[in-house]
Amino acid sequence: MSTKTENPTQRTALITGAGSGIGRALALGCAAADMHTLLIGKTASKLDAVAAEIAARGGTAAVHPLDITDDAAVAALATALTGMTIDLLAQCAGDWLIASIDDTSSAQLDHILRVNLRAPYRLARALLPNLRRSDNASIIMIGSIVTALSVPMVSAYTAAKVGLKGLSGALAAELQPEQIRVVMISPGPADTPMRAAASPGIDKSVLVPPPTIAQMVLAVAALPRGISTSDFTLHSLLWQ
């Protein structure tokens, strides 16, 4: 694990789901933008691999393997980070479920709501003291195109992501007086392990490359203090 260098001007990004897909691309993008990165995810080995990539490119990363649905683990993370300034909280971790409402068990529904909605709420609340230390803080939620158009067989996932959109908007309004921006970016199908599992054999030309999503997150986080944007989708023009 690489740790932060003694550079008081270096900005810090905490990225959930940093071990793969969109979160991994964002972690690499943040490090390339000279940010210190805090990598959150369930599987330590995946975070270690991303941290090693960042270190090999001259960046710094600290890994914090944890299950974001575990309240005690989130509380322990907040304690471990006490006094640290976080400039960007990027909530990329998520899980999916393709099933009809008839075939979605209560346990599956609870899991999808916990990981995609309740956990981002808990994390934002737990890390607000760190964000309040920044002179230009951002909370970016990774949503999904299902917040903008309804498709069948993803009712639990859609309910969670639309809930996350509500959370994002309400938090944006609540934190506006403190000039903390909160924005949800909702990708269409993206070229990640989640998509490969959900849509095996899909034509990759219709997928958004994760580095493109990372680029948009970084652009929003780089807006001047006091400036924000509304939530937006990001999708391939070849996808329909």
Ligand X SMILES: NC(=O)c1ccc[n+]([C@@H]2O[C@H](COP(=O)([O-])OP(=O)(O)OC[C@H]3O[C@@H](n4cnc5c(N)ncnc54)[C@H](OP(=O)(O)O)[C@@H]3O)[C@@H](O)[C@H]2O)c1
Q: Which amino acids are annotated catalytic? A: 157
Binding segment for ligand X (CB under 6 A), chosen from 81-89, 94-102, 125-133, 165-173, is 94-102
Which residues contact residue 20 at a Cβ distance below 8 angstroms, ignoring those fewer than 6 apart? 41, 46, 192, 193
- DSSP secondary structure code for residue 103 in this structure: T
**Of 182, 180, 181, 112, whose CA–CA distance to 141 is shortest?**
182
Residue whose CB is less far from ligand X, 13 or 68? 68
> Closest approach of Cβ 217 to ligand X, in Å?
11
Using the rule CB under 6 A, which residue among 42, 64, 118, 122 binds ligand X?
42
Q: Is 50 in the site for ligand X (CB under 6 A)?
A: no
d(CA 91, CA 15): 6
> Closest approach of Cβ 111 to ligand X, in Å?
9
DSSP 170-210: HHHHHHGGGT-EEEEEEESSBSSHHHHHHSTT--GGGSBPH
Among positions 52-91, residues that touch ligand X (CB under 6 A) are 67-69
Using the rule CB under 6 A, which residue among 11, 127, 187, 217 binds ligand X?
187
Residue whose CB is less far from ligand X, 134 or 187? 187
CA-to-CA dists, residue 98 to 58, 196, 208, angstroms: 40, 13, 20
Q: Is 166 in the site for ligand X (CB under 6 A)?
A: no
Q: What pairs with residue 183 in β-bridges?
A: 140
Which residues contact residue 133 at a Cβ distance below 8 angstroms, ignoring those fewer than 6 apart? 84, 85, 86
Using the rule CB under 6 A, which residue among 194, 202, 206, 223 binds ligand X?
194
Among positions 114-143, residues that touch ligand X (CB under 6 A) are 115, 142
Binding segment for ligand X (CB under 6 A), chosen from 15-23, 102-110, 126-134, 165-173, is 15-23
Nearest residue to ligand X, scored by beta-carbon proximity: 21
Contact 184, 147 (CB under 8 A): yes
Using the rule CB under 6 A, which residue among 17, 113, 156, 214 binds ligand X?
17
Binding segment for ligand X (CB under 6 A), chosen from 16-24, 30-38, 79-87, 171-179, is 16-24
- Cα 69 → chain centroid: 14
Q: Which residues make up the interface to ligand X (CB under 6 A)? A: 16-17, 19-23, 41-43, 46, 67-69, 92-96, 115, 142, 144, 187, 189-190, 192-195
